[in-house]
Amino acid sequence: MTRPGKMSPERARLLRDEARRTRRVAFVPQPGTRKHREIRFSNLRPGQMEEARHLLEHLENLEVDTGLLPNSVAIWYDIVDYTLEGLESALVERGFHLENSLYCKMFRAVVYFCEDTQLRNMRQPERLIKKSNEVYVKAWEHHPHGDHDDTPPELREIK
């Protein structure tokens, strides 16, 4: 029997899942590869939000819920699996109309850029920081500089 305040494995899993689905304000830094975004739809076509939600729910590794704002869908995903740009372009290709306010366009551009940069950085091989100075040492040895003396060693000896 567990006390109400005591942590159990079940409660820990519940808290973890609850934290994963925590809704953040749209424009806060989200470190790591797991992202929470909201896709906002235009009012031009009524019912497209529910249709999009139904469509997105069938994708693997993508959590979908109703958005905080009307005509929006909240999504949770890992950028290794999806990007916001990819999801939104797939929806647009299927005939959905996204909100095109200046705020949404700017927000999308920033998110697209950040996710693309993060993916590119993840694909780059990690630099070997400990050996990076060797590159500079070798470059210094081959670079003509004031510390180099062309006099042969036998003529440098003072008698």
* Per-residue model confidence (pLDDT) at position 1: 47
Residues 6 or more apart whose Cβ sits within 8 Å of residue 48: 41, 42, 96, 97
Q: What's the pTM?
A: 0.64
Neighbour tally for 90: CB within 10 Å: 14
Distances (CA, A) of 141 to 42, 49, 130: 63, 64, 19
Written as tens digits, the pLDDT of the chain (159 aa) is: 445 667 888 887 777 777 655 555 555 677 788 999 999 999 888 889 999 999 999 999 999 988 888 889 999 999 999 999 999 999 999 999 999 999 999 999 999 999 999 999 888 777 666 677 777 777 777 777 666 677 777 777 765
Architecture of domain 21-143 in CATH? 2-Layer Sandwich (3.30)
Angle among Cα 77, 123, 104 to the nearest 5 degrees reads: 45
